[in-house]
Amino acid sequence: MQLISWNIDSINAAVEHKSARGEMTWDVLTTIAARKPDVFAIQETKLKATGMTKKQSEAIAELFPDYHVYLDSSTARSGYSGTMMLTRIEPLSIEFPKIAAPDTMDIEGRIITLEFDNYYVSTVYTPNSGSALARLSARGEWDDAYRAYIQTLDAKKPVIFSGDMNVAHEEIDLKNFKTNHNSAGFTNQEREKFTALLDAGFTDTLRMQNPNTPEIYTWWAQISKTSKINNSGWRIDYYLVSDRIAENVSNTGVLDTGLRQDHAPISLTINM
């Protein structure tokens, strides 16, 4: 079973591909389509609350024919956040859960869960704490609520879950860890909450396969023109699985996006 997960930073930018960055995003999307993953999870769709436009729907259908497509768009603010899942296998059920998160996080389109015969596949777009850490406290409440939600799934069936989790867990997971200690995504609180998630019975698949390999990143800041060239990145996108199926993982990785900055897709191959 092959899965891919990607923070696309706007479905519309990819479909329109009118700028150089849009062209690069479209190229990555077509590359993913050519790989024909069994499940493709997308974060930060930035779609309107009403979902995809006709043009967007047609473009996705052309790239991913015969896929079942599920959307969770933000109703708190249109064109913000949002997730999507595409699957070749029809799920038994689809859930857009509310996890009793603070603020408007529960209506920002952040989680989709698909149920299959013997497992769940879920995706998440974790709230960012903000440049001034204005949302750090709420983010902590989110982390606790999300962990509890994933544990309820895990109590029924093993879980495979992915997404932009907006945290670099350890120093090895970002280039400039010394200067970013109090930055959003690398605060003690966020890192401790991620540790708590792992301790609740889940495995970071990429780090399991590459325990001491440095400079594996999934995000490079757009604000810096040289972040990708110099590989000054962060690993904040993850595939996690229930501990009891971790041995079934055969391969994990980060897809090459060339000079495109921001997020790169991540992949997982697992025997299920």
Annotated binding site for Mg(2+): 7, 44, 164, 166, 262-263
Q: Is 263 a catalytic residue?
A: yes
238 is catalytic: no
Q: Which residue is catalytic, options 9, 164, 173, 204?
A: 164
- Which one of the listed residues 70, 125, 217, 238 is annotated catalytic? 125
Report the alpha-carbon distance of residue 131 to residue 180 in Å, rounded.
11
Task: Write out the binding residues.
Answer: 7, 44, 164, 166, 262-263
CA distances from 203 to 16, 128, 200, 249, 263 (A): 37, 22, 9, 10, 21
Out of 70, 146, 154, 263, the active site residue is 263
67 is catalytic: no
Q: Which residues are catalytic?
A: 125, 164, 263
